[in-house]
């Protein structure tokens, strides 16, 4: 049987979520899994909410398959409001603490944590929010190994920012302790 996880990373443009998706997919490849990373640009990409998609699987991905996702990360209210209906019943919702808990009919596993504040205040750079988010997300859903994820992050971030991003990754793992 194949274990396949569909993940959507959502937020506003400029939060580095495409890069986040690429890093997650490259980490999966290092773990000998298969992955497909994709991004749609169209009317829905306008207006401030953006999303990147990653499918990670133990076996061949019979892509394309348009379906609801297992995991949704939302760094902004707008992106959460927009994409929440794409999350499966009993799926995992990971939101920044600035996002109001949405009204919903379905059951979700909700994790709410200070992703943006950790990037800005603890690390001192808002641009590492995507890496804080990856650390948190993988701590919760464990789709790839920690080692591969760290390696994939360090392969992709701009030279000279490795230590900053390593700290962001570690902080992301630690902020997952509180669950709502």
The residues that touch a copy of itself, with contacts defined as CB under 8 A, are 18, 22, 25-26, 28-29, 34-43, 45-46, 60-61, 63-66, 158
Nearer to a copy of itself, 26 or 139 (CB): 26
CB 115 within 8 A of CB 96: yes
Distance CA 9, CA 18 (A): 8
Compute the least distance from the CB of residue 69 to a copy of itself, in Å: 15
Compute the least distance from the CB of residue 42 to a copy of itself, in Å: 4
Q: 3-state DSSP call for residue 145? A: coil
Q: 3-state DSSP call for residue 87? A: strand
From the list 84, 94, 81, the residue with the least C-alpha distance to 20 is: 94
Nearer to a copy of itself, 4 or 176 (CB): 4
Nearer to a copy of itself, 57 or 79 (CB): 57
Compute the least distance from the CB of residue 166 to a copy of itself, in Å: 19
Distance CA 164, CA 94 (A): 23
Query: What would the two tokens of residue 63 be?
Result: 């892509």
Nearer to a copy of itself, 65 or 121 (CB): 65
Compute the least distance from the CB of residue 14 to a copy of itself, in Å: 10
From the list 72, 69, 80, the residue with the least C-alpha distance to 12 is: 80
Nearer to a copy of itself, 41 or 105 (CB): 41
CB 134 within 8 A of CB 151: no
Residue 76 CB neighbours (<10 A): 20
Compute the least distance from the CB of residue 17 to a copy of itself, in Å: 12
């Amino acid at each position: 049987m194949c274990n396949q996880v569909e993940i959507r990373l959502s937020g506003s443009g400029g939060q580095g979520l495409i890069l986040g998706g690429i890093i997650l997919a490259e980490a999966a490849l290092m773990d000998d899994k298969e992955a497909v990373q994709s991004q749609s640009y169209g009317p829905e990409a306008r207006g401030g909410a953006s999303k990147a998609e990653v499918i990670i699987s133990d076996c061949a991905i019979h892509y394309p398959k348009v379906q609801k996702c297992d995991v949704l990360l939302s760094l902004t209210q707008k992106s959460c409001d927009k994409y929440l209906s794409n999350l499966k019943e009993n799926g995992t919702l990971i939101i920044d603490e600035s996002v109001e808990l949405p009204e919903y009919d379905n059951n979700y596993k909700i994790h709410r944590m200070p992703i943006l504040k950790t990037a800005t205040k603890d690390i001192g750079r808002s641009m590492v929010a995507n890496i804080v988010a990856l650390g948190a997300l993988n701590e919760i859903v464990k789709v790839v190994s920690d080692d591969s994820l760290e390696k994939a992050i360090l392969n992709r971030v701009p030279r000279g920012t490795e230590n900053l991003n390593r700290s962001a990754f570690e902080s992301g793992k630690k902020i997952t302790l509180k669950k709502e």
